[in-house]
Amino acid sequence: MTFQSRIDKRFVSFIILVMLSVVCFAGGTLLFSATTIWEWLPFIFLVVVVALCFWMLVTVKYVITAQQLNVQAGPITSTIPYEKITRIERFRGMGYTSGGYKLHLAGDGFEIYYSNGWFGSVRISPQQDEQFLKEIRRHLSNGLIDL
């Protein structure tokens, strides 16, 4: 079952505005000063990075399969087997300084702790959070969801 990310429109609008501003400022500056292709290469790299960030921003989803939870954003996919999940907690706020990594676009959701992987936890914000919990409870043993 696939769940799309809940989106805080102000947060996403701010991120898109910043990305477009950086590209427009850099492009406008180069437009009047760059004379060779080598001077345009950093700008082209910047456009590719911004496009990658935008791709990740609009494609965040969470897929519950029979064996694992897949957290996807653009080219990034994290596979978390159910037996590696140690607990799930609800969070509030964007949590810029918390551990783990964040693939959520809203200020509240779930933090999933797991024993494999680099970060140890991931923050997600599915649109239908109650349906997500109901579905993931079917695959986990009792006591792992602390809400």
Q: How far apart, in Å, are the Cα atoms of 75 and each of 22, 59, 60?
A: 23, 9, 10
Check residue 99 and give its pLDDT: 58
Check residue 147 and give its pLDDT: 59
pLDDT in tens, 65-115: 999 999 898 888 889 898 888 888 888 765 555 556 666 666 788 888 888
Predicted TM-score of the model (pTM): 0.77
CA gap 110, 51 in Å, rounded: 27
pLDDT in tens, 32-75: 777 787 888 888 888 888 888 888 888 889 999 999 999 898 88
- Averaged pLDDT for residues 115-133: 85
**CATH class, range 1-147:** mainly beta
CA gap 28, 133 in Å, rounded: 47
Check residue 64 and give its pLDDT: 93
